Each structure stands twice: as C-alpha cells, then as structure tokens.
Amino acid sequence: MDRSSSTPVPAALARRAFACAGVFLACIGAALAAPAGGHGAAHAAPAGERAARHAEHRVEPGQPLQPVVDSAQPGDTIRLAAGRHAGPVRIDRTLALVGEPGAVLVGTGRGSVVTVAGDDVRIEGLEITGSGRDLPAMDSAVLVTREARRARVRGNRLVGNLFGVYLHGAADSAVERNEIVGRSDLRLSEAGNGVSIWNAPGAKVIGNTIRNGRDGIFVKTSRDNTFADNTFSGLRFAIHYMYTHDSRIVGNRSHGNHVGWAIMYSDRLEIRDNVSVDDRDHGLLLHSTNLSTVVGNVVRNGREKCAFVYNATRNELRENWFEGCPIGIHFTGGSADNTMTGNAFVANRTQVKYVGTRYIDWAEGGRGNYWSDNPAFDLDGDGIADRPYRPNDVMDEVLWTLPAAKALLNSPAVQMVRWAQARFPALYPGGVFDSAPLMRPLRVPDDEAAR
C-alpha cells in the first residue's frame, strides 16, 4: 500500500474520537449539574428568585424586638403588629421597620427610642413615644447617626419625645409626612426640636406637621437641604437656619409661632411661597443671609414685624406680601445691595423702618413695589404711580430715636414739620424711596394664605 494514501485515515479517526469524547463529557457534566428531578434549567430561575427575596418578620406585642432585628438579614422587613411594643431598638443594617395600624413603640424614658446606624433604613407607619430628655445625648424618637445614609422616616406619629427626628450627619436622608408633637411640659431652653439636622447634605424634610417644642426644624452646618410643604404651630421658630447653604425652603406654613422663618448666617438659599400668619415677633428674619432669593412669600398679622432684615446683603426680595403688621419691613445693621421689587406692603402701621443717611431706591428695571397707603395717580395708565413714594419722613426718624415723642404725634408742631417737608423735598432724610411704585399689587394671595 502506498504510504502517502494511508496517512489521512488515522487523522480522521482521531478527530471523530475527540468529538465523541467531548459530547460524552458534556452529557456527564449536565447530568451532574441537574437536580435529582431533572430539568435543571427550569429550576435555576426560581432558585435565584428565592435567593433575592427578602424575608418579613412579624412581631407581636410583648415579643422582644431587638433579637428579631439582630437576626434579620439586610433587606428584610420587620412588621410590628397592632399594640404596644417595648423599645429601645438599634438598627445597624439595611432593614425596614414598619408598623401595622395601631402599632406603638414605647421607649423607657431614657435615650432614643429608635437608633439608626445603618444605610437605607426605613421607619414607617409607627407611633413612637417615650424618649429621654437629655439634650446633649440627642434623645429622640428616631436618632439617625452619622454612620447611616439614605434613611427614610415616613408616615409616623412621634409624640411626647424630646426630639422628633435627629439627622446627625445622616446624608441624603428624608423625613416625610410625619406628625411630630413635641413636649409642652418643658421650658423652652429644655425642649428639643421637631426635626434637627446637623451636617446632613442632601437631607429633605417634606410634608410634616410639627407642633410644640422649641423649633420645628433646626439645621446647622449643612448644605443642599430641602424643607417643603411642612406645617408648624406652637413653636419658637418654625424653621431655624444656621450656617446652611445652597438649600430650599418652599411652600411651608407657620401659624402662631414666635418667628416663622429665622434664617441666619446662610448663603444662596431659595425661600419661596411660604406663609406666616399670626406669628408673634416676625414672619421672616434674615440675619447675615446673603445671595439668596426670597420670592412669593406671604406674611400676615405679625405682632411686631412682618420682616426683619439685619446685616443681609445681595439678596433678591421679590413679589412678597407683607400685611397687617406694626412694621411691614425693618432694614438695619448694614443691610445693603438688596433688590426689592414687586412686593406688596398692605395696611401695616409703619410700612418701612430704615434708619440711615443713604438713599436707597426700591425699584428695579422701572418696577417698584405696591404701597397700600400711597395716594397716587397714574395719569398715563402704565401701572406706575406718577410720583415716587417715600415711606418715611423726618418725624418717623425722630419717633424711632425718641419713642416718648409719640405723645406729640398729633400736635401742631409735628403737623407743621410734615407740611413743610411735603413742600420742600430737600428736607427729607436719607432712607428708602420707591421711584416706580405700583398702582396695584402684582398678585393677591388666596384666602388659604390667611388661615
């Protein structure tokens, strides 16, 4: 036989042998991987789903809660049945603590009732009461520590605690739709806040009802926070800002507090569409606040000042409504370079209090503010009064400096000074004037803003 013709035959047989061996090994591997009942591919997906599904643990009243929390796996839900449950509890992993209707978590009167020290924890649907009263220890219904991020405290009723929720360095956390009722049996210096925030960038407080205690929301040394659509009553300050920047205060309501919005040492804020009614001292306080936008807010029936602006610079106050206060707005203490346009000053006893020698025009781009006591004409019908408006005169400055002179307010001497000043504008002191006063307010708040 010719050697050259017989060489390909062993090569072909070798290739066939290798192919059969590969098929044989593949069949053995599939048989070993499949479960006893066969159809391995059909059973693999349900096994994966079971691995991804988180467990739910139901806790009955009287059953110890902390052991259940400690044994739960990240992502599990712990559901409290209706009834009273004994706290405190500490959560250090991603869990949801959820209450069925009627579930109450009761602390011992010492420390915080719930302490959150893990990421992505959710506290929802519970009534929580019984915290301690140690201010330095931050005793709270829910204390979220700096180790935690993205906590959600939602839809709870927090009653009779020192602090309602304390976000202590807990970035990107949210406090939403809770009813928070603080303690009314403590002196103001001993009371805590509804929500306290320290150094929690990205935190949000939205849609809560807060009453009693010291401040509704107190934030210090933070940034990028949003406080929106909250309601406050029976407090010192509804919202109290300190050293917090690049944040938003939108759509909140304050009624019957000492001060509505106390904004201090903070920059680049948006303060929009908030309502203050019947607050004792001020509706709006801007103290050392800069580069901020204050737009569309309503302050009515403040007992002292609708707005107090102290040492605040380069802010824009636009289209706000100040009504029914002894003083509409008080500017003092180095406040400069602020834009005032489109605001409405309605039926305030003194529309503006500004003591200074500089002339300040509260008009911008040919549009000033509306003054309810301005007896002006608009002969050309452009919506702008034909004469500038001056809210203050020489006698106002005398009365601010010497309050006892009010006894002479209706005397012939005072009337003569005002008559002479009206005839000789050069006698006017420095201060606020409006070169383009509006004949009508740009917008009138609806009736809801008065309630």
Amino acid in the structure at residue 444: V
Question: What pLDDT shows up at residue 431?
Answer: 79
Whose CA is closest to 393, among 357, 428, 439? 428
Q: If you average pLDDT over residues 277-296, what whole number do you get?
A: 97
Q: If you average pLDDT over residues 213-231, what whole number do you get?
A: 98
Structure token digits, residue 39: 């159809």
Confidence of residue 94 (pLDDT cuts 50, 70, 90): very high
Whose CA is closest to 120, among 83, 94, 143? 94
Q: Return the half-sphere exposure (C-beta side, CA atoms, 13 A cut-off) of residue 30.
A: 10
Structure token digits, residue 152: 């959600």
Provide the 3-class DSSP secondary structure of residue 230: coil
Q: Are 217 and 210 in contact (CB under 8 A)?
A: yes
Cβ neighbours for 35, distance < 8 A, ≥ 6 positions apart:
43
Q: Are 349 and 372 in contact (CB under 8 A)?
A: no
- List, for residues 104-120, the tens digit of each pLDDT value: 999 999 999 999 999 99
Q: How far apart are CA 171 and CA 244, in angstroms?
A: 14
Question: What pLDDT shows up at residue 28?
Answer: 40
Q: Are 197 and 175 in contact (CB under 8 A)?
A: no
Whose CA is closest to 254, among 266, 269, 237? 237
- List, for residues 388-422, the tens digit of each pLDDT value: 988 865 555 555 566 665 566 567 766 666 555 55
Phi-psi region of 187 (alpha: psi -120 to 50; beta: other; left: phi over 0): beta
Cβ neighbours for 63, distance < 8 A, ≥ 6 positions apart:
85
Question: What pLDDT shows up at residue 334?
Answer: 79
Structure token digits, residue 382: 């452009």
Whose CA is closest to 153, among 194, 199, 109? 194
Domains, the chain, ordered by start: 127-400+429-450 (2.160.20.10), 401-428 (no CATH)
pLDDT-above-90 percentage for the chain = 71
Q: Are 197 and 172 in contact (CB under 8 A)?
A: no
Whose CA is closest to 240, among 221, 143, 103? 221
pTM for this model (two decimals) = 0.82
* Cα end-to-end distance, the chain, whole Å: 114
- List, for residues 38-74, the tens digit of each pLDDT value: 444 344 445 444 445 789 999 999 999 999 999 999 9
72: which DSSP letter?
P
Question: What pLDDT shows up at residue 429?
Answer: 54
Structure token digits, residue 276: 């203050």
